[in-house]
Structure 1
Amino acid sequence: MKIDFGKLKRTIMLQILLILVITLLVGYFISYVFIDGVLQAPFADWFIRFCENVLQLDYFSAQRAYGILFRQNKSLWLAIGLIILLLVIFYFALSRFTKYFNQIAIGVNMLSEESNQEISLPSELDFMEKKLNDAKNKLEKRAKDAQEAEQRKNDLVVYLAHDIKTPLTSMIGYLSLLDEAKDMPVDQKEKYVKISLEKSYRLEQLINEFFEITRFNLQSIILDKESINLNYMLMQLADEFYPLLAPKGQQAIVNIEGEMKVFADANKLARVFNNILKNAIAYSDDNSIIHISAHHQNDQTFISFTNKGKTIPPEKLMMIFEKFYRLDSSRSTQSGGAGLGLAIANEIVHAHGGTISASSNDEKTVFTVMLPTLS
């Protein structure tokens, strides 16, 4: 973006012109008063007395020295006086110019010190004021977002740590009973073993979520791209999620006209679709249909997941792709994940040069992934 220095240029030019005008006026005043004006005679008398008393010259010699030094070199003395005057005035003018740098330095210090005050500069530096305040606002937002994400992560870790104790306590309890009651009936023993196994799976899931948090913070996404048959990938996805869909009477239907391909990392793209579909299943109404569709447009591929369920408020739509954000904060870790699924999907899609977005109203919620068709 081109910066408009117009106001600053005009201010500096006016100040330079003012310096020149003041210099000429003062120079003309000196010339008129001291050399050819009202103070010429007093100055000449003072110079002659100085020569007579200090330099011990006679009156005529002193008068001749005054004529040689001043009367015959008026232009030289005027030029010297104007140069000295110009340097003095220019020095004071530079002091004024350096105030601009001081003001900018103060603004930069306020930026680095994370001051709560708005940065204010002279009107001729309004472009710099705007840029500094924009940078300040962006840094404040990033710091706030990072702090909120860190707080959400810390809260989640506390929840996970608490929830780990529940299945672990149950496992210890049932295994202790199995260990103590050697003659326990077979049916009861099978029941206790089954419960312990279920708790073990839950414990494994919670531990995996801990690893997911750490891995997401440390990972750098490296893509291994290839040509992918999108039709096959989405159909396979819908089939794989049947065990999660069936208990709630839900269906995932893929609707794509013709064969469609994208150039992407198959494993990571599958993870994106898994995370989006998993989220759609969790928040869809019972006995509803999740529609999966795709189409090409202007060298871009759009893949949409549409479900009927609870409307997502606009303020939450802005945050659902952030780390550790869980749409329904009331959902415990028993029913909700680490809040990383959509954030990871967002990172992977951006690594492919695409975008991911969401919209929601009373009728439907739509997640849309845009990918370059060829990249």
Structure 2
Amino acid sequence: MTIFIFTVSLAAAIVVGYYILRSFVWYSTDLIYILLSPIRNHPIPFILITWMIGFIIIFIFFWRKTLHYVDQIVEASRNLASDNSDYIRLPSELKQVEDRMNAIKQESIRNARLAKEAEQRKNDLLVYLAHDLKTPLTSVIGYLTLLRDEQQISEELREKYLSISLDKAERLEELINEFFEITRFNLTQLSPEMSHINLTRMLEQITFEFNPLFAEKNLTCQLDIEDNLEISCDVNKMERVFDNLIRNAINYSYENSPIIIRSKKDNNDLQLYFINNGPVIPKDKLNRIFEQFYRLDTSRGTKTGGAGLGLAIAKEIVELHGGTISAQSEEEKVEFIVRLPLSP
């Protein structure tokens, strides 16, 4: 464009100059006449030489400007790997390059943060694994040692120690299964084995199996589910989701209160609500309860849950089915909402 403008301007200047000079009378002794005579005698070479000189000047100008842009881009590229979050600034002519480099830098910062968080989760895994496995294991070793060392122990006490040891051993098995399950979900690309099921019958069967646990806290379970509600899902995995949500509701429910399971259709989605009466979960904790190893009781006691993997596993499975899971809590009620795509 610059060369085109220069060419047009040069042509216009020659034409204008020609008509201006032509309006005067020049003598052979005039200095201007002497200087312009070669141009009049050889106009084409003069025009070509003038155009070439202008072209070279324009080329050098833009070449140096381009080199300057390259230097700025090279300098900006050094900031891509920097830890600071300052945006890269380039001339307005390089706006697209600036936007792209800033996008790459922000993505790099985000990836670095995610890598740091992943490293922290790995460290948390080791800490939680050691804590959650050591407690029941210590009890098992302690009671078995008593049984070995105390030869004169009564049968009643022996039976009590054996019962406690068995409970702790089962607790160990449960924790190990939970750790294995979440590791399996994290390290492998699982694909659900879909089948068409009657969700109503499935929930009726699952809740029936929880009757002994309901009775321990005098809880009631109310199923407000549409008759013969059918969906496509992986039965075993979805059963794990419902099992974890109901078990969680039991652990954190007030005694003598109901647990409500309700369904609702919304366009092409199915919403399942798992509602229980219990302590309000603060909003900051609501955003974290689906994290691996996160538990509401920070002491990580065994009375109110497992290793903090149940909800994390449920989230993995629901998302594997193309759905979402969320939670809300207010007025001493806790509500988990599972959204699943309806079968065609």
What TM-score bracket applies, with the shorter chain setting the length?
Answer: 0.7 to 0.9
Deviations 1:200-248 (A, max 9, x none): 2223233334423432331212111111111011112212223333322
The 10-residue stretch of structure 1 (296-305 or 339-348) with the greater mean CA deviation from structure 2: 339-348
The question of whether the paired residues in 2 share the 8 Å contact of 1:322 and 1:343 is answered with: yes
Gaps of 5+ in 1: 1-15, 45-65
TM-score when normalising by structure 1 = 0.74
| 1:368 CA displacement | 1.5
2:129 to 146, 160, 168: 160
Q: How well do the aligned residues superpose, as a CA RMSD in angstroms?
A: 3.5
2:284 paired residue number: 315
| 1:141 CA displacement | 4.0
Deviations 1:32-54 (A, max 9, x none): 69xx899866868xxxxxxxxxx
| 1:153 CA displacement | 4.1
CA–CA distance in structure 1, aligned partners of residues 311 and 253 of structure 2: 16
Is the aligned partner of 1:92 residue 2:61?
yes
Is the aligned partner of 1:82 residue 2:51?
yes
CA–CA distance in structure 1, aligned partners of residues 119 and 221 of structure 2: 35
1:301 to 270, 288, 304: 270
* Pair 104,256 (structure 1): closer, same or farther in 2 beyond 3 Å: farther
CA–CA distance in structure 2, aligned partners of residues 288 and 137 of structure 1: 49
Deviations 1:69-96 (A, max 9, x none): x543213321332134124313422543
| 1:131 CA displacement | 5.3
Is the aligned partner of 1:249 residue 2:214?
no
TM-score when normalising by structure 2 = 0.80
| Pairs within 5 Å for 1:160-239 | 160-239=129-208
Q: How many residues align?
A: 334
| 1:21 CA displacement | 4.7
SS at match of 2:227: coil
| 1:355 CA displacement | 2.0
The question of whether the paired residues in 1 share the 8 Å contact of 2:198 and 2:230 is answered with: yes
Deviations 1:154-188 (A, max 9, x none): 22422331343333333333323322333432222
The 10-residue stretch of structure 1 (242-251 or 138-147) with the greater mean CA deviation from structure 2: 138-147
The question of whether the paired residues in 2 share the 8 Å contact of 1:356 and 1:369 is answered with: yes
2:79 paired residue number: 110
Identity of aligned residues (%): 45
Is the aligned partner of 1:355 residue 2:317?
no
* Pair 345,188 (structure 1): closer, same or farther in 2 beyond 3 Å: closer
The 10-residue stretch of structure 1 (265-274 or 82-91) with the greater mean CA deviation from structure 2: 82-91
SS at match of 1:357: strand
